[in-house]
Amino acid sequence: MWQTFLTSLTETNSGINLLEVSASVAIAVLLGVLVFFTHKFTSDSFSYDKNFGLVMLFVPATVALLISVTNSNIARALSIAGVLAIIRYRSTLTNPRDLVYIFFSVAVGFAAGVRLYVGALIFVIIGAIVAAIYGLCTADRTRNIKKTLRIAVPESINYDGMFDEVLGKYTNGYRVEGIRIISGGTVTELIYSVKVKDTKDTKAFIDELRTLNANFKITLQEWMPLERLV
């Protein structure tokens, strides 16, 4: 009787072994912790987001659970894969690095869900090594940084090609993302994506731009897509 009772606790009508599912989820959580620490120790203090770290702890466990309970039913597995494919985050990920870690966490969860524990561990270790090497190779973050530059000019100034010389001097590349008419048509705002050669020259860069745009507003900020600029 006790044997039957214990079996009923660990197996469902669909043949899913709850002990195996629990083991997959537990291992996925442990691997998620490794992914979390990889992200934390390879991020600088400014870009690290503890809320995003929480995502990396839960994603592997969640995916492992979904795969574990559907691995015997192809149709249900494909349905869940479709649901995962259309999920959109409330906050758009503008940093490609964060997107990489999301896929990293999902892959770890899939591997744990199909009980490829050793393969998942090896994948996490290799990923951590690659992330650490990349961090060491890109330690100097004052050079060639992509930023968004917004320059306001009065309507009376012909801005065509006006800033090209200064932009060529202080950046490794730039392009015009958009032109907007603001302040009731009295001011034109030019929006550039630029790769700054060295952030130590930011003041000199801004000062030279100010001499050309009649000391109107200039904004140099972290790069973001044009549709998010207001």
State the helix-helix crossing angle for 50-70 and 96-113, rounded to 10 degrees: 30
List, for residues 129-156, the tens digit of each pLDDT value: 998 888 787 665 555 678 889 999 998 8
Residue 18 in this model has a pLDDT that exceeds 50: yes
Question: Is 128:38 a contact under the CB 8 Å cutoff?
Answer: yes
For residue 178, which amino acid is it? G
Whether this prediction's pTM lies above 0.75 is answered by no
Q: Is the pLDDT of residue 219 over 80?
A: yes
Q: How far is CA 187 from the centre of its chain?
A: 35
Q: Please give the angle made by the CA atoms of 131, 137 and 140, to the nearest 5 degrees.
A: 115
| Torsion from C-alpha of 191, 195, 198, 200, nearest 10 degrees | 20
Q: How far apart are CA 111 and CA 100, in angstroms?
A: 17
pLDDT (0 to 100) of residue 15: 57
Q: Which two tokens stand for residue 216?
A: 């109107």
CA 212 to chain centre: 36
For residue 174, the cross-strand partners are: 194
143-228 domain in CATH 3.40.50.720? no
> Could you tell me if 64 and 24 are in contact, meaning their C-beta atoms sit under 8 angstroms apart?
yes
| pLDDT band of 94, cuts 50, 70, 90 | low
Q: Given this model, what pLDDT does residue 51 score?
A: 79
With a cut of 50, say whether residue 5 has pLDDT above it: no
Domains of the chain, by residue range, sit at 2-137, 143-228
pLDDT tens by residue, 159-203: 888 999 999 999 888 888 888 888 888 899 999 989 888 878 889
pLDDT tens profile 49-60: 777 888 888 888
